Amino acid sequence: MIVQGAFNLLFRPGLRSDFRDEWDRYEAEHPLYLKTAGLDTPEISATIMTGPSRLLERGDGEPITYEDAVIGPKVSAVDKEYALGFMITRRTVEDDQYSKANQASKWLAHSGRMTQEYRSAQLLDDAFAGTVFKGLDGLPLAHTAHTLIGMNATGITVANRPSAEVALSVTGVTAVMDLYQLMKDENGDPIRMWPNKIILGNNAGDVNRAHQIFNSEKEPFTANNQDNAIKARLGSITPHVAHYKLSPKSYFFIDDRWNDAWHLTRRPIEFDDHFDFNTDAALFKATTRFLIWFADWRGWVGVNPL
Protein backbone atom coordinates (compact mmCIF):
# COMPACT_ATOMS: atom_id res chain seq x y z
CA MET A 1 0.00 0.00 0.00
CA ILE A 2 1.28 3.45 -0.93
CA VAL A 3 1.13 5.71 2.13
CA GLN A 4 2.36 9.26 2.64
CA GLY A 5 5.86 8.26 3.74
CA ALA A 6 6.57 6.34 0.55
CA PHE A 7 5.89 9.33 -1.71
CA ASN A 8 6.95 12.14 0.63
CA LEU A 9 8.77 14.02 -2.16
CA LEU A 10 5.43 14.69 -3.83
CA PHE A 11 4.14 16.66 -0.84
CA ARG A 12 6.69 19.48 -1.07
CA PRO A 13 7.10 22.22 -3.67
CA GLY A 14 10.28 22.59 -5.71
CA LEU A 15 10.40 19.40 -7.80
CA ARG A 16 10.88 19.64 -11.54
CA SER A 17 7.63 19.54 -13.47
CA ASP A 18 8.96 17.26 -16.23
CA PHE A 19 8.73 13.91 -14.43
CA ARG A 20 10.48 11.04 -16.18
CA ASP A 21 7.49 8.73 -15.90
CA GLU A 22 6.61 8.30 -19.60
CA TRP A 23 8.71 6.86 -22.42
CA ASP A 24 8.43 6.21 -26.12
CA ARG A 25 7.52 2.52 -26.37
CA TYR A 26 7.92 0.02 -29.18
CA GLU A 27 4.80 -1.00 -31.02
CA ALA A 28 3.35 -4.38 -30.04
CA GLU A 29 5.82 -7.01 -31.26
CA HIS A 30 4.22 -10.36 -30.50
CA PRO A 31 1.79 -10.11 -33.47
CA LEU A 32 4.87 -10.18 -35.73
CA TYR A 33 5.50 -13.84 -34.93
CA LEU A 34 2.33 -15.05 -33.18
CA LYS A 35 -1.09 -15.24 -34.72
CA THR A 36 -3.69 -13.64 -32.48
CA ALA A 37 -7.24 -14.71 -31.76
CA GLY A 38 -9.75 -15.09 -28.97
CA LEU A 39 -10.27 -18.21 -26.88
CA ASP A 40 -13.81 -19.32 -25.97
CA THR A 41 -12.99 -22.23 -23.67
CA PRO A 42 -10.43 -22.70 -20.90
CA GLU A 43 -8.71 -25.50 -22.85
CA ILE A 44 -7.65 -25.83 -26.45
CA SER A 45 -6.60 -29.04 -28.19
CA ALA A 46 -5.10 -29.94 -31.54
CA THR A 47 -4.12 -32.98 -33.54
CA ILE A 48 -3.00 -33.73 -37.09
CA MET A 49 -4.19 -36.17 -39.75
CA THR A 50 -2.84 -37.56 -42.98
CA GLY A 51 -4.10 -39.89 -45.64
CA PRO A 52 -2.16 -42.29 -47.89
CA SER A 53 0.83 -40.95 -49.78
CA ARG A 54 0.69 -43.03 -52.99
CA LEU A 55 -1.57 -45.36 -54.89
CA LEU A 56 -0.51 -49.00 -55.00
CA GLU A 57 0.21 -50.88 -58.20
CA ARG A 58 -2.61 -53.29 -59.00
CA GLY A 59 -2.60 -56.32 -61.23
CA ASP A 60 -5.45 -57.35 -63.50
CA GLY A 61 -8.40 -58.48 -61.41
CA GLU A 62 -6.66 -57.93 -58.09
CA PRO A 63 -8.75 -56.53 -55.25
CA ILE A 64 -8.30 -52.97 -54.05
CA THR A 65 -6.12 -52.43 -50.99
CA TYR A 66 -7.78 -50.20 -48.41
CA GLU A 67 -5.85 -48.07 -45.97
CA ASP A 68 -7.10 -45.92 -43.13
CA ALA A 69 -6.17 -42.33 -42.55
CA VAL A 70 -3.64 -41.80 -39.77
CA ILE A 71 -4.33 -39.47 -36.89
CA GLY A 72 -1.58 -38.15 -34.67
CA PRO A 73 -1.55 -37.52 -30.92
CA LYS A 74 -3.65 -34.86 -29.26
CA VAL A 75 -2.00 -31.96 -27.49
CA SER A 76 -3.86 -29.66 -25.11
CA ALA A 77 -3.12 -26.41 -23.35
CA VAL A 78 -4.87 -24.26 -20.75
CA ASP A 79 -4.65 -20.49 -20.56
CA LYS A 80 -2.97 -18.72 -17.64
CA GLU A 81 -4.29 -15.82 -15.60
CA TYR A 82 -2.20 -12.77 -14.76
CA ALA A 83 -3.08 -10.12 -12.23
CA LEU A 84 -1.61 -7.21 -10.30
CA GLY A 85 -2.99 -4.65 -7.89
CA PHE A 86 -2.12 -1.22 -6.57
CA MET A 87 -3.28 0.49 -3.36
CA ILE A 88 -2.95 4.13 -2.37
CA THR A 89 -4.32 5.99 0.63
CA ARG A 90 -6.67 8.91 0.37
CA ARG A 91 -4.29 11.21 2.26
CA THR A 92 -1.50 10.46 -0.21
CA VAL A 93 -3.70 11.55 -3.11
CA GLU A 94 -4.94 14.65 -1.29
CA ASP A 95 -1.44 15.90 -0.41
CA ASP A 96 0.20 15.12 -3.78
CA GLN A 97 1.04 18.53 -5.26
CA TYR A 98 2.01 17.08 -8.66
CA SER A 99 -0.87 14.63 -9.34
CA LYS A 100 1.60 11.81 -9.90
CA ALA A 101 0.90 9.36 -7.08
CA ASN A 102 -2.48 8.27 -8.39
CA GLN A 103 -1.50 6.81 -11.77
CA ALA A 104 -2.59 3.26 -11.11
CA SER A 105 -4.41 2.79 -14.40
CA LYS A 106 -1.42 3.92 -16.46
CA TRP A 107 1.04 1.77 -14.52
CA LEU A 108 -1.17 -1.31 -14.59
CA ALA A 109 -1.83 -0.88 -18.30
CA HIS A 110 1.91 -0.82 -18.91
CA SER A 111 2.36 -3.94 -16.76
CA GLY A 112 -0.29 -5.76 -18.76
CA ARG A 113 1.33 -4.82 -22.05
CA MET A 114 4.79 -5.92 -20.86
CA THR A 115 3.39 -9.20 -19.56
CA GLN A 116 2.06 -10.03 -23.02
CA GLU A 117 5.34 -9.15 -24.70
CA TYR A 118 7.67 -11.01 -22.32
CA ARG A 119 5.43 -14.09 -22.12
CA SER A 120 5.19 -14.20 -25.91
CA ALA A 121 8.96 -13.88 -26.26
CA GLN A 122 9.34 -16.95 -24.02
CA LEU A 123 8.24 -19.03 -27.01
CA LEU A 124 11.27 -17.75 -28.93
CA ASP A 125 13.69 -18.29 -26.05
CA ASP A 126 12.36 -21.82 -25.47
CA ALA A 127 12.19 -22.73 -29.16
CA PHE A 128 15.37 -24.84 -29.05
CA ALA A 129 15.01 -26.49 -25.63
CA GLY A 130 11.30 -27.27 -25.46
CA THR A 131 11.24 -26.93 -21.69
CA VAL A 132 7.89 -25.12 -21.73
CA PHE A 133 6.57 -25.34 -25.29
CA LYS A 134 6.36 -28.62 -27.25
CA GLY A 135 4.53 -29.42 -30.45
CA LEU A 136 2.49 -32.37 -31.67
CA ASP A 137 5.59 -34.54 -32.03
CA GLY A 138 6.69 -33.79 -28.46
CA LEU A 139 9.70 -31.79 -29.67
CA PRO A 140 10.67 -28.10 -29.46
CA LEU A 141 9.54 -25.61 -32.08
CA ALA A 142 12.96 -25.72 -33.79
CA HIS A 143 14.59 -29.16 -33.99
CA THR A 144 16.91 -31.13 -36.25
CA ALA A 145 14.71 -34.27 -36.41
CA HIS A 146 10.95 -33.71 -36.28
CA THR A 147 9.09 -37.02 -36.55
CA LEU A 148 6.20 -37.79 -38.90
CA ILE A 149 3.06 -39.91 -38.48
CA GLY A 150 2.48 -41.15 -42.04
CA MET A 151 2.56 -44.89 -42.77
CA ASN A 152 5.18 -44.34 -45.48
CA ALA A 153 7.22 -41.94 -43.32
CA THR A 154 8.69 -44.44 -40.89
CA GLY A 155 12.27 -43.43 -40.12
CA ILE A 156 11.95 -40.10 -41.95
CA THR A 157 12.64 -36.94 -39.99
CA VAL A 158 12.56 -33.28 -40.99
CA ALA A 159 14.79 -30.48 -39.71
CA ASN A 160 13.77 -26.89 -39.17
CA ARG A 161 17.01 -26.10 -37.37
CA PRO A 162 20.47 -26.43 -38.93
CA SER A 163 22.62 -29.27 -37.64
CA ALA A 164 25.44 -26.74 -37.24
CA GLU A 165 24.39 -23.38 -35.82
CA VAL A 166 25.51 -20.49 -38.01
CA ALA A 167 25.50 -16.81 -37.07
CA LEU A 168 23.40 -14.55 -39.26
CA SER A 169 25.34 -14.36 -42.52
CA VAL A 170 25.07 -15.30 -46.17
CA THR A 171 26.07 -18.84 -45.17
CA GLY A 172 23.47 -18.96 -42.40
CA VAL A 173 20.64 -17.66 -44.56
CA THR A 174 21.57 -20.09 -47.34
CA ALA A 175 21.40 -22.98 -44.84
CA VAL A 176 17.94 -21.81 -43.75
CA MET A 177 16.69 -21.62 -47.34
CA ASP A 178 18.00 -25.14 -47.98
CA LEU A 179 15.94 -26.40 -45.01
CA TYR A 180 12.81 -24.74 -46.38
CA GLN A 181 13.31 -26.53 -49.69
CA LEU A 182 13.50 -29.85 -47.82
CA MET A 183 10.22 -29.37 -45.91
CA LYS A 184 7.89 -32.38 -45.94
CA ASP A 185 4.34 -33.21 -44.92
CA GLU A 186 3.38 -35.99 -42.50
CA ASN A 187 3.84 -38.60 -45.23
CA GLY A 188 7.36 -37.41 -45.98
CA ASP A 189 6.28 -35.88 -49.30
CA PRO A 190 7.80 -32.53 -50.36
CA ILE A 191 5.74 -29.41 -49.68
CA ARG A 192 6.17 -25.86 -50.89
CA MET A 193 7.09 -23.54 -48.05
CA TRP A 194 9.01 -20.29 -48.21
CA PRO A 195 9.73 -17.62 -45.56
CA ASN A 196 8.43 -14.08 -45.80
CA LYS A 197 9.66 -12.80 -42.44
CA ILE A 198 12.74 -12.87 -40.22
CA ILE A 199 12.71 -12.26 -36.46
CA LEU A 200 16.02 -11.16 -34.97
CA GLY A 201 17.38 -10.72 -31.48
CA ASN A 202 18.33 -7.33 -30.12
CA ASN A 203 21.81 -7.48 -31.63
CA ALA A 204 22.79 -4.38 -33.59
CA GLY A 205 25.33 -6.28 -35.68
CA ASP A 206 22.71 -8.79 -36.84
CA VAL A 207 20.22 -6.07 -37.68
CA ASN A 208 22.76 -4.30 -39.89
CA ARG A 209 23.82 -7.56 -41.54
CA ALA A 210 20.20 -8.51 -42.21
CA HIS A 211 19.55 -5.26 -44.07
CA GLN A 212 22.71 -5.79 -46.11
CA ILE A 213 21.88 -9.42 -46.92
CA PHE A 214 18.26 -8.87 -47.93
CA ASN A 215 18.38 -5.43 -49.50
CA SER A 216 21.72 -5.28 -51.36
CA GLU A 217 21.56 -5.70 -55.12
CA LYS A 218 25.07 -7.18 -55.07
CA GLU A 219 26.21 -10.01 -52.80
CA PRO A 220 27.33 -8.43 -49.52
CA PHE A 221 30.68 -8.98 -47.82
CA THR A 222 32.44 -10.01 -51.05
CA ALA A 223 34.68 -8.28 -53.59
CA ASN A 224 33.32 -10.13 -56.63
CA ASN A 225 30.47 -7.69 -57.28
CA GLN A 226 28.20 -10.55 -58.28
CA ASP A 227 24.42 -10.45 -58.00
CA ASN A 228 22.89 -11.12 -54.60
CA ALA A 229 21.50 -14.65 -54.99
CA ILE A 230 19.67 -14.49 -51.68
CA LYS A 231 17.67 -11.45 -52.71
CA ALA A 232 16.95 -13.08 -56.04
CA ARG A 233 15.54 -16.16 -54.27
CA LEU A 234 13.81 -14.53 -51.32
CA GLY A 235 13.07 -11.03 -52.47
CA SER A 236 13.36 -8.15 -50.03
CA ILE A 237 12.52 -9.21 -46.47
CA THR A 238 12.17 -6.59 -43.75
CA PRO A 239 13.93 -7.75 -40.56
CA HIS A 240 11.95 -7.43 -37.33
CA VAL A 241 13.62 -7.20 -33.92
CA ALA A 242 12.15 -9.01 -30.91
CA HIS A 243 13.31 -6.71 -28.11
CA TYR A 244 11.79 -8.79 -25.33
CA LYS A 245 13.46 -12.14 -25.92
CA LEU A 246 16.52 -12.92 -23.83
CA SER A 247 18.76 -14.40 -26.51
CA PRO A 248 20.22 -11.60 -28.66
CA LYS A 249 21.69 -13.88 -31.35
CA SER A 250 18.99 -16.43 -32.14
CA TYR A 251 16.95 -15.71 -35.25
CA PHE A 252 13.89 -17.18 -36.92
CA PHE A 253 12.47 -17.32 -40.42
CA ILE A 254 8.69 -17.66 -40.69
CA ASP A 255 6.30 -18.54 -43.49
CA ASP A 256 3.18 -16.71 -42.27
CA ARG A 257 0.90 -18.96 -44.31
CA TRP A 258 1.84 -21.98 -42.20
CA ASN A 259 2.73 -20.35 -38.89
CA ASP A 260 0.88 -22.22 -36.12
CA ALA A 261 2.18 -20.28 -33.10
CA TRP A 262 -0.58 -18.38 -31.29
CA HIS A 263 -1.42 -15.72 -28.74
CA LEU A 264 -4.96 -16.62 -27.69
CA THR A 265 -6.84 -14.22 -25.42
CA ARG A 266 -9.35 -15.73 -23.02
CA ARG A 267 -10.00 -12.46 -21.17
CA PRO A 268 -8.65 -9.11 -22.37
CA ILE A 269 -6.99 -6.89 -19.79
CA GLU A 270 -9.64 -5.64 -17.38
CA PHE A 271 -9.27 -2.82 -14.86
CA ASP A 272 -11.27 -2.63 -11.65
CA ASP A 273 -11.17 -0.27 -8.70
CA HIS A 274 -12.59 -0.28 -5.19
CA PHE A 275 -12.54 2.00 -2.16
CA ASP A 276 -11.81 0.39 1.18
CA PHE A 277 -14.03 2.04 3.82
CA ASN A 278 -11.92 0.87 6.74
CA THR A 279 -8.50 2.14 5.57
CA ASP A 280 -9.51 5.00 3.28
CA ALA A 281 -7.43 3.41 0.53
CA ALA A 282 -8.22 3.18 -3.16
CA LEU A 283 -7.60 -0.26 -4.65
CA PHE A 284 -6.91 -0.82 -8.33
CA LYS A 285 -6.30 -4.10 -10.14
CA ALA A 286 -5.70 -5.40 -13.65
CA THR A 287 -6.34 -9.00 -14.72
CA THR A 288 -6.11 -10.92 -17.96
CA ARG A 289 -6.09 -14.49 -19.25
CA PHE A 290 -4.25 -15.63 -22.35
CA LEU A 291 -2.43 -18.61 -23.80
CA ILE A 292 0.81 -18.81 -25.78
CA TRP A 293 1.20 -22.09 -27.65
CA PHE A 294 1.97 -23.87 -30.90
CA ALA A 295 1.01 -27.28 -32.26
CA ASP A 296 2.63 -27.65 -35.69
CA TRP A 297 6.26 -26.57 -36.16
CA ARG A 298 6.03 -26.10 -39.91
CA GLY A 299 6.52 -22.62 -41.22
CA TRP A 300 9.41 -21.93 -38.83
CA VAL A 301 13.16 -22.35 -39.14
CA GLY A 302 15.21 -21.29 -36.15
CA VAL A 303 18.95 -20.82 -35.64
CA ASN A 304 20.61 -20.46 -32.24
CA PRO A 305 24.26 -19.39 -32.58
CA LEU A 306 26.32 -19.30 -29.40
What string of DSSP letters covers 55-101? PPP--TTPPPP----EE---EEEE-EEEEEEEEEEHHHHHH-SSS-S
Does 231 score more than 60 pLDDT?
A: yes
Over residues 30-58, mean pLDDT: 94
Q: Count structural domains, the chain.
A: 1
The DSSP H or E segment spanning 120 is helix 104-125
- pLDDT of the residue at 93: 75
107 touches 22 (CB < 8 A): no
Q: By 3-state DSSP, what share of the chain in percent is helix, strand and coil, each rounded to 5?
A: 25, 25, 50
CA 121/CA 246 separation, integer angstroms: 8
Q: Which of 85-99, 106-120, 128-142, 267-281 has the highest mean pLDDT?
A: 128-142
Does 83 reside within a domain? Answer: no
Does 80 reside within a domain? Answer: no
Does 33 reside within a domain? Answer: no
CA 176/CA 123 separation, integer angstroms: 20
User: In sequence order, what are the residues at sequence separation of 6 or more whose Cβ sits closer than 8 angstroms to the Cβ of residue 203?
Assistant: 248, 249
CA 24 to chain centre: 22
- pLDDT of the residue at 186: 95
187 touches 148 (CB < 8 A): yes
- pLDDT of the residue at 265: 97
Beta carbons within 10 angstroms of residue 178's beta carbon: 12
- pLDDT of the residue at 95: 77
Q: How many percent of the chain have pLDDT more than 70?
A: 87
- pLDDT of the residue at 203: 87
Task: Report residue 87's pLDDT band, with 50, 70 and 90 as the boundaries.
Answer: confident
- pLDDT of the residue at 2: 52
CA atoms within 13 A on the CB side of 305: 15
- pLDDT of the residue at 182: 96
Where is average pLDDT lowest: 30-34, 168-172, 207-211, 233-237? Answer: 233-237
SS3 of 184, please? strand
- pLDDT of the residue at 153: 86
Interval 259-301: pLDDT, tens: 999 999 999 999 998 888 888 888 889 999 999 999 999 999 9
Does 25 reside within a domain? Answer: no
Does 14 score more than 70 pLDDT?
A: no
User: In sequence order, what are the residues at sequence separation of 6 or more whose Cβ sits closer than 8 angstroms to the Cβ of residue 305?
Assistant: 165, 166, 167, 168, 172, 249, 250
Does 198 score more than 80 pLDDT?
A: yes
Average pLDDT along the chain: 88
Beta carbons within 10 angstroms of residue 51's beta carbon: 12
Interval 143-178: pLDDT, tens: 999 999 998 888 999 999 999 999 999 889 999 999
Task: Report residue 103's pLDDT band, with 50, 70 and 90 as the boundaries.
Answer: confident
Does 158 reside within a domain? Answer: yes
Interval 113-132: pLDDT, tens: 999 999 999 999 999 999 99
Say what the pTM is: 0.87
Does 277 reside within a domain? Answer: yes
Residue range of the domain that includes 280: 89-303
Provide the sign of the torsion angle of the four alpha carbons 112, 272, 292, 50, taken in this order. negative
Does 35 reside within a domain? Answer: no
Q: Which of 47, 50, 113, 98 is nearest to 75 (CA)?
A: 47
- pLDDT of the residue at 306: 78
Over residues 204-233, mean pLDDT: 75
Q: How many percent of the chain have pLDDT more than 90?
A: 63
Starting at the edge strand found earlier in the chain, the sheet holding 239-241 runs: 239-241, 197-200, 251-254, 300-303
181 touches 144 (CB < 8 A): no
Does 214 reside within a domain? Answer: yes
- pLDDT of the residue at 101: 67
